[in-house]
Amino acid sequence: MSQQAEAASVGHRGQRVDTSNLWYNLFQKGVELGTWNVESLFDEVGFEEDREMWASMDPDERDQVRYLLSGFLDGEREVAGDAATNLSRIMGAPCLDHNEEKEMYMTMLTLTEHKHTQFIDIYMDEVMDDRDNFAELDPRRGTRIPIVEATGLGEVFENQGLQTAKAAQTQDPVDIAKAAAVYHLNVEGILARVGGFAINRMSDQAYLPLLNHGFKFISTDEGRHITHGVNLLKELIEKEEQGKAEYQGVKQGIRDMLYHDVPYMADFGYMFTDAVGDPLGVDIDDVLMRGGHLIDGMYNESLGLDVDYLSVINRVSDRYDEIKQWDLEEVVREQEDHYNRRRGVVADGGAEGVDE
Ligand SMILES: [Fe+2]
Ligand SMILES: [Fe+2]
């Protein structure tokens, strides 16, 4: 599929802006379709039914939803922050084509990620306010929600921050490929999509209408972000295959990021299913199967990377052997203590020393 073939059939032309390329088309789609209004959705659907359902749910069912949404709450904040800073700088890199349109597109991506944060943050506070949800500190300043920090999700976000910051600094094609793989394939393409699948599955047992409405919009937005990421990576892979020296290592870099992140992503799946007894019937095997299909679709079918499936499965099962030895409650409690110490630092402006 050529980028031109996908482009919008707009008749207008610009001088600096190339209206015939894919990123212009994605930008325009973002302008037209990415305009759902979080506050209007709250007004139209309202919180009442979700609050009633929440009140009727058992504590273990609530934990399952809370764990999953906590992952989204920190995750959306992290991707929004990276989009506004590192990713925007990466789009101007000399090794990429269509810098102007890619930078335009990044404003749409940034806007929608902030809306996702807006939706989930307000939703959790309005509907799930029966327990402190540890959301007042900024994950990008190093203190994530305890369940996120205690599980592999913290590792994935850590890697995303490191890779995107490095690529923004070096503007090197291999670094950019690694950053885009973590951000667009692993976080948006696997984590966010599997998370959306889990929310759907939970709604069979506990239907939360506002949450489901919001996630339909979020999933549509993520679809455009993933299209951007896959095409950005195709561009770099094509240049590597043409034999250009500075692009050598692009494909291996993308694969390395999958192998790095996959055990931690699978670990988070376990944490909101079997570790809490899976009262809402999400089923870890279905979660893993869904993740596997997404990996196959993006890494193999779209990008032709010949990911070694056996190696992926082995990494996941090694990680499971490791985490099943944990005392999960103890691990989460340690992170909650850490969070509370950081709260103290924020409250007193850092005047008191803190033991980290
Ligand atoms: Fe998002
Ligand atoms: Fe996204």
Q: How much is the average pLDDT of 30-45?
A: 90
What is the gyration radius of the CA atoms in the chain, in angstroms?
Answer: 21
Q: What is the pLDDT of residues 187-233, one digit of tens each?
A: 999 999 999 999 999 999 999 999 999 999 999 999 999 999 999 99
- The bound ligand whose nearest atom lies closest to the alpha carbon of 226 is 2
Residue partners of 90: CB distance under 8 A and separation at least 6: 96, 164, 167, 168, 171, 176, 179, 180
CA dihedral for 62, 68, 74, 79, sign (positive or negative): negative
Residue type, 155: E
Q: What pLDDT, in 10s, does the model give residues 156-169?
A: 999 999 999 999 99
Q: Which domain holds residue 129?
A: 47-338
Mean pLDDT of the region 27-45? 90
Please report which confidence band the pLDDT of residue 314 belongs to, taking 50, 70 and 90 as the band edges. confident
Could you tell me which of 226, 208, 29, 179 has the C-alpha nearest to residue 120?
208
- Ligand 1 is an ion; its neighbours by CB within 5 Å are 76, 113, 116
Q: CA 226 from chain center: how many Å?
A: 10
Q: Are 159 and 182 in contact (CB under 8 A)?
A: yes
* Dist. CA 230–CA 251, nearest whole Å: 12
| 51-71 pLDDT, tens digit each | 999 999 998 899 899 989 989
Query: CATH number of the domain that 318 lies in?
Result: 1.10.620.20
The single-letter code of the amino acid at 328 is: L
> Hey, what are 344's tokens?
């103290």
User: Which has the closest alpha carbon to 78: 124, 110, 105?
Assistant: 110
- pLDDT, position 354: 44
Q: Report if residue 122 sits inside a domain.
A: yes
Please tell me the distance from the alpha carbon of residue 143 to that of residue 122, in angstroms, as a whole number.
Answer: 20
Q: Would you say residue 266 lies in a domain?
A: yes
Distance 44 CA to ligand 2 centre (A): 24
Q: How many domains does the chain have?
A: 1
User: 286: closest CA among 274, 275, 298?
Assistant: 274
Counting ligands in written order, which one lies closest to the CA of residue 118?
1
Is pLDDT above 70 for 8? no
The pLDDT of residue 132 is 55
Span from the CA of 79 to the centroid of ligand 2 (angstroms): 7
Secondary structure letter of residue 274 according to DSSP: G
